[in-house]
Amino acid sequence: MAIESTNAASSQSTGAGSVPVEGPSPHLVSPALRHKLQRCYEHGMKLVREADGKPYDYQYAHTMFLECVVNEPGNLLFVDAFLDNLQCKYEHNLRGARFGWRGRRGPFKKAVAQGDWGQVLRLGPQLLHRNPWEWPVLRAMADACAAYHYNEPELRYLKNGRDGHPRDVVVMKYCAHALTRMGQFDQAILCWHRVEDLAAGDLEAAEMISALTVEKHRVPAGFADAEPLIERVGIPRDARKRSAAVPDQPPPTPSAEAPASVPELPRTPATRRQPGVIPLTERQRLERAVREEPGQLEHYVRLAEVHTAEGRYQDAEEVLERALPVSGHAPAILERWEDTTILRMQQRLAIAEQRAVDHPASEADELVAGLREKLKRLELDVYSRRSQLAPQDHELRYQLGLRLKNLGNYSQAAACFQAAAAAPQLQARALVAEGECLQYQQHYAKALRCYLQALDHTRGHDNEHVADRKLALYRAGVLAIGLGQEDVARSHLEELVDLEPEYVDARRRLDKLG
């Protein structure tokens, strides 16, 4: 009897002006290829860091980043570095090279027309070499990312289109529809306000602003701290007046380590409260400190901790993103940024799940499925990178195995669990997880052997491993029933019921055995 698969196919809704997103499966990257791409990325980033704002070998960096985005188009770090390098090459002139070969467009146009999104993601980055703000290519890349549920890379390509065409109503509407599809209501409203500024009397803009404002306030937590597609290029003056603020109310997320308290700045005559002067909050003081001393890494870290404690994960992520170049892309800051990105994605998923409850059988269900898949892949990217940097860390290998298993990559997950089992404290749970992978692959005898080995390692019922023993007993008992080994199943289920009478459906299965 195999474990019932729970990996649902991911789908996502589409708004006007964007492509349907049901279709291809996301790209799977082998550990060897992932290691190669990580090295390419680090070589390119080393050039950027050493240049320290001065010109560097843009073409060599482009070669490194191009290899990354072509092979792993859903990795936001790769896409961001790829586009940032090209923008620096052309000194942010918003038009690219003045003259020169624009590349062979025939295969790319054919792939777009046929909806061959994998081919679009392979060919598109090469065409952006001469102009990273070329809207037709960026739009096709965004559509391809939407088809694969690569939300953050999609927004990154659209941001370049928005930067290069700030007065194009068509571009602005396209961005607004994409943001609406992803549930980024505040950012979408800003886009529609910009449309109003550019095309006075646009009926669609007025209707969408009204509808999105109502929808935003139906979900109190909202998506106010959404993807920074527009905020890095400025908010239209009129939109600043009209856009309503949404109170911060983070949904339930896995508990994060409480940030260290931030001591108040010394009270000097300049900071001592004067009559009629409102004192600054911790967050405001730290924001001012970052502005006044942009080279002090500590200010960024403390400000990010305050944002995280308040559930403002989007703001914390942005602060840490700004801290990365200040720290020289230090691993500790990168890990903080990655952890915050995961928390933000969990927050978005929780809000989307609440919307799906409020709007049954609607686009919200598709958004939830897409966000779940995106969260899985985000965690996989994070733990894969960390495991490569610390190959002897067994806990990281175990965590990577869990992410691979969640995505259905059972053979690689089993290899991770085998490596993690070398650590005594992880041996039992790693054996159970390996057995689950083998069971998914229909290697039932080997799976049962793993469960029995896990039971051997947890014999004695010590509190540290009692949860692992219960799970191993349950897995062994259920699998033994499927294999027709009723005596083996009965002995394990009886022990499990003695330990915890209400463990899942163990008692019901035991009663069926008689």
pLDDT given at position 248: 39
Q: Which of 79, 78, 72, 83 is nearest to 133 (CA)?
A: 83
Does residue 514 surpass a pLDDT of 80?
no
**Beta carbons within 10 angstroms of residue 381's beta carbon:** 22
Token pair of 434 as six digits: 């390996």
Q: How confident is the model at residue 443 (pLDDT cuts 50, 70, 90)?
A: very high
pLDDT given at position 233: 32
CB 158 within 8 A of CB 178: yes
* Positive/negative CA dihedral, 185, 325, 132, 195: positive
Does residue 133 surpass a pLDDT of 60?
yes
Q: What is the pTM of this model?
A: 0.54
pLDDT given at position 44: 92
Rounded Cα distance, 422 and 359, in Å: 47
Q: Which of 408, 475, 470 is nearest to 6 (CA)?
A: 408
pLDDT given at position 227: 39
* Residue scoring higher pLDDT (274 or 160): 160
Q: In the predicted model, what is the mean pLDDT of residues 448-466?
A: 86
Rounded Cα distance, 338 and 195, in Å: 34
Pick the CATH number of 412-514 from 3.90.1150.10, 1.10.260.40, 3.40.228.10, 1.25.40.10: 1.25.40.10
CB 378 within 8 A of CB 75: no
CB 290 within 8 A of CB 298: no
Average pLDDT score over the chain: 82
pLDDT given at position 463: 75
The per-residue pLDDT for range 34-50, each reduced to its tens digit, is 889 988 999 999 888 88
Q: What percent of the chain has pLDDT over 90?
A: 51
Rounded Cα distance, 467 and 463, in Å: 8
* Residue scoring higher pLDDT (440 or 201): 440
Rounded Cα distance, 304 and 315, in Å: 7
Distances (CA, A) of 408 to 28, 380, 411, 439, 491: 10, 12, 9, 12, 31
Q: How confident is the model at residue 488 (pLDDT cuts 50, 70, 90)?
A: very high
**Beta carbons within 10 angstroms of residue 459's beta carbon:** 10
Q: How confident is the model at residue 468 (pLDDT cuts 50, 70, 90)?
A: very high
Q: What is the CA angle 492-494-498, rounded to 5?
A: 115
With b for 16 or more beta-carbon neighbours within 10 A and e for fewer, the 419-432 pattern comes to bbbeeeebbbbbbb
Q: Which of 97, 68, 101, 72 is nearest to 82 (CA)?
A: 68
CB 161 within 8 A of CB 135: yes
The per-residue pLDDT for range 242-300, each reduced to its tens digit, is 333 333 333 343 443 434 444 444 444 444 545 555 688 898 899 999 999 988 999 99
Q: In the predicted model, what is the mean pLDDT of residues 358-386?
A: 84
Rounded Cα distance, 514 and 511, in Å: 5
What is the residue extent of each domain of the chain?
Answer: 10-96+104-164, 412-514
Does residue 400 surpass a pLDDT of 50?
yes
Does residue 169 surpass a pLDDT of 50?
yes
